[in-house]
A and B are shown apart, each in its own frame.
Chain A
Amino acid sequence: MERRTIFSGWLLPVVLVLPQLALTVVFFLWPAGQAIWSSMTRTDAFGIRTMFVGLENFSDLFTDPLYLDTIERSVFFCAAVAALSMGVALVLASAADREIRFRGLYRVLLVWPYAIAPAVAAVLWILLLHPQIGLIGRWLNSIGIPWDYKLNDTQAMLVVILASAWKQVSYNFIFFLAGLQSIPRAIIEAARMDGARGFFRFRTVVLPLLMPTVFFLLVVNLVYAAFDTFATIIALTDGGPGKATETLVVKVYRDGVVNLDIGSSSAQSVVLMAGVIVLTALQFRFLGRRSGGG
């Protein structure tokens, strides 16, 4: 899409676009280029010589069982967070999309958690699930279920999934509610007159019309779970116990910042960039469809 009516002159627009462009080149393109370059180099054990090794870092990465484990773990984590968070949000949005009393109040109560920082979400969940001080954690131990997410791998994964999904419910709620409200009432009424009720009406009439929102949110949630949960995981489990909650981003951080293995960390960054590009492309496909369909 282009405008037909424009101002003349080219000096002013160049000046206007320059700040954004400069930031992009200095803080995005240059580092990205560096990442690609250092993903193809390796520094010797003494940190003196850096040599070009081509795609060796990548072949090492993809033959490393630990890395493949991390990929598998991240995929599971992202899928679980997206499914849980979207599921809960959809139930809440369906309930809020009715002409009931206090619905304004309910909406406020479900929208404000958008502001919660991932790290603060972690603190709140520690208060619930910590084996010694947490309300629920202590209760579980007292009824004879051994609960300690700092020692048990499965419990650690469960805790980071719960905290991460919880934080994202609000965002999904806002979009699901907007999606539900954009479905014409006449369609719902027609389905009601035809005798479609309850869950059947939801599954056969509402859900198909809501699919664009579902796809859009799916991509957003996967990106959120992959990248924005870093603080939640670090604060709750620090990636542990062992590597039980180490996602791809946590691993890039551990390998690059903590263990200073620049070559491998850069190769991992490049793999992540490829992942984001695929997800962004998908998002634009669905966004295009969303706005195209009205």
Chain B
Amino acid sequence: MNGRTDWFAHLVLCLGALLFLLPIWLVISGSTLDPAAIARGELSLVPRLSGLGVYASVLTQGSPGAGPVWRMLMVSAGMALAIAFGKIIISVLSAYAVAFFRFPFRMTAFWIIFITLMLPVEVRIIPTYTVMSNLGLINTFPGLTVPLIASATATLLFRQTFLAVPDELFEAARMDGAGPWRFLRDILLPVSAANIAALFVILFVYGWNQYLWPLLVATDPKLDTIVIGIVKMIGTETQTEWNRVMATAVLALLPPVMVVMLMQHWFVKGLTEGDK
């Protein structure tokens, strides 16, 4: 390989990595600084070790305009996990039904599910809110999660995987006397393990990062997710304690970043080989 172009590639990639690492380092070091110093414009890239106490403080006490962060972390984790597992379970079941059975209105059901792909929550803010309040789901944990669990994308993905299962495998399983449940558990789930892992990462990040939906249906501060909490904190512009905002931002980043990094291999594979 050409040595000069290699150096150029290294340079480009280092700059690219810095484009993301620098802001992160800034927020980590900023979180340890004295809030008065930050407000005076003395934000620096050198952390102050004695300022690490801010993490304990935001976790247990919170900040002006928002409650303790540990609570928000629990709500976010609950929301992300409920959405990820809920979507996967519900999508595996419906994809299984559509791919391996024949029943009345099968294609109608499939198309109704498919249509949700075209209706992201952002385009139906008000009417969905009305429906939620009719059902008494405003300010409840199910209200926060259940409406986001329906998923056309995951159903399509599993359907595609299931359709690719060879007929011989199906016949062999049937000959061994496997019923529908055993076939699902012993053959289909292992076959789609990589898909499930990739989807878990994508959906966990999706659930964790939600903003508009919780903003609408959960006005009770007890149900604030950490993402909502951060925006609330910077909303009180005049007395923003920036070190607390930054510490909260770091804590908000950690769980989804860990999930992506730990499962990177499956995640990248699943994202690019599936449809989306």
Contact = CB atoms under 8 A, between A and B. Distances in A.
B54 to A, nearest CB: 15
A188 interface: no
A265 to B, nearest CB: 5
Given A123-B245, A123-B249, A17 B122 contact: no
A231 B20 CA distance: 19
Nearest to A236: B234
A44 interface: no
Interface stretch (B56-64, B66-74, B123-131, B189-197): B123-131
Contact of B93 (A16, A24, A95): A16
Contact of A112 (B124, B163, B260): B260
A67 interface: no
B49 interface: no
Interface stretch (A48-56, A128-136, A203-211): A128-136
B103 A13 contact: yes
B39 A114 contact: no
B117 to A, nearest CB: 6
Interface stretch (A72-80, A151-159, A270-278): A270-278
Contact of A119 (B118, B216, B230): B230
Contacts of B234: 123, 126, 235
Nearest to B89: A19
Contacts of B99: 3
B260 A114 contact: yes
B39 A26 contact: no
Nearest to A287: B275
Contacts of A112: 20, 257, 260-261, 264
B112 A6 contact: no
A12 B180 contact: yes
Contacts of A20: 90-91, 93-94, 113, 150-151, 155
Contacts of B167: 3-5
Contacts of B245: 123
Interface in B225-276: 227, 230-231, 234, 242, 245-246, 249, 252-253, 256-257, 259-261, 264, 267-268, 271-272, 275-276
Contacts of B12: 91-92, 95
A16 B100 CA distance: 11
B208 interface: yes
Contacts of B259: 115
A29 to B, nearest CB: 7
A28 B115 contact: yes
A158 B102 CA distance: 54
B112 A27 contact: no
Contacts of B162: 3
B26 A118 contact: no
Contact of B103 (A14, A31, A95): A14
A138 B41 contact: yes
Interface of B: 1, 5-6, 8-10, 12-13, 16-17, 19-21, 23-24, 26-27, 30, 38-39, 41, 43, 90-91, 93-94, 96-104, 106, 109, 112-113, 115-120, 122-131, 135, 146-147, 149-151, 155, 162-163, 167, 170-171, 174, 180, 183, 205, 208-209, 211-212, 216, 227, 230-231, 234, 242, 245-246, 249, 252-253, 256-257, 259-261, 264, 267-268, 271-272, 275-276
B1 A98 contact: yes
Contacts of B275: 287, 291
Given A24-B113, A117-B256, A127-B23, A266 B39 contact: no
Given A7-B100, A178-B272, A257-B125, A115 B227 contact: no
The 5 closest A-B pairs by CB, nearest first: A13-B101, A231-B211, A117-B209, A23-B150, A13-B97
A174 B271 CA distance: 8
9 contacts: A19-B90, A31-B131, A100-B9, A110-B17, A112-B261, A112-B264, A115-B260, A119-B211, A276-B118
Contact of B252 (A35, A92, A111, A120): A120
B150 A9 contact: no
Given A4-B167, A32-B119, A113-B20, A123 B27 contact: yes
B125 A25 contact: no
Contacts of A117: 208-209, 211, 227, 252-253, 256
Given A16-B96, A116-B256, A257-B126, 15 more contacts: A3-B100, A14-B103, A23-B147, A27-B150, A28-B150, A31-B124, A110-B17, A115-B260, A119-B227, A126-B234, A133-B41, A138-B41, A174-B268, A253-B125, A273-B119
Given A123-B234, A126-B234, A10 B126 contact: no
Nearest to B130: A34
With a 10 A CB-CB cut-off, give which of B8, B171, B211 has the most chain A CB atoms. B211
Contacts of A119: 209, 211, 227, 230-231
Given A19-B90, A117-B211, A253-B212, A5 B115 contact: no
Contacts of B16: 88, 91-92, 95, 106, 109-110, 169
